[in-house]
Amino acid sequence: MPIVLLILFASVIVITIVVLSEAARKKRQEDLSNFAAKHSLEFQPTATPESLGIYAPFPLLSLGRSRTVTNAILADTQDTTARLFDYKFTTGSGKHAATHHFSVVYFKSDLLMLPEFSLTQENFFHKIGKVFGMQDINFDTHPKFSSLFLLKGTEEAEIRKFFTSHRLTTLENFGHLCIEANQSRCLIYRVPQIASNDYPGWLEESFKVFSALCEKNDS
């Protein structure tokens, strides 16, 4: 009898988690749909990178399995394609499986002239990796930037030229963000996922970073 009760109790917990998760998913979709409508933006509850016009080979979009794009908001301007969306993928299997959630903004614009690079948050494992030769492009003039970010790319000289003093100083204010860049396209993303009630700030913040990336190198 104790085993039967234990199984029933575990089943109730699993069902409760599933129900609450589905309720949270629907609430988030409703909130972001309302946010898009309020700002006269198009909303797509489900999408794919391709359906959003994202074709550049961004590393983030090739990680893991069960990759899913939801709650896409099209926030285009006259000269810029902008896509905000939720993104998730799964790594591992069995009891080691983990699902990773991101808030992502994709920009495509002729205003962008970007070297290919990735900018991610510096963490302990990155610092250990650098001891063993992991690439990290640092700037002696901006120790705060170098401590916040791991900057990688194949054309180091070009990347160093792009990251002007003004751009480095600006990006220091956004140490919680990650960026993947490739010519006229970039992804800006955050983990954990942005709460739906924080979306106005997320949209504003993303466009501030986009503006910094668009600045001419003599700024």
- Tell me the per-residue pLDDT of 32-86, one tens digit each, with 9 for 90 and over: 999 999 999 999 999 999 999 998 789 999 999 999 999 999 999 989 999 999 9
- Tell me the per-residue pLDDT of 68-83, one tens digit each, with 9 for 90 and over: 999 999 999 989 999 9
User: Nearest CA to 159 among 121, 104, 213, 209?
Assistant: 213
d(CA 82, CA 53): 10
- Tell me the per-residue pLDDT of 136-160, one tens digit each, with 9 for 90 and over: 899 999 999 999 999 999 899 999 9
Give yes or no for residue 125 having a pLDDT over 60.
no
Give the pLDDT of residue 23: 84
- Output the pTM of the full model: 0.86
d(CA 210, CA 108): 10
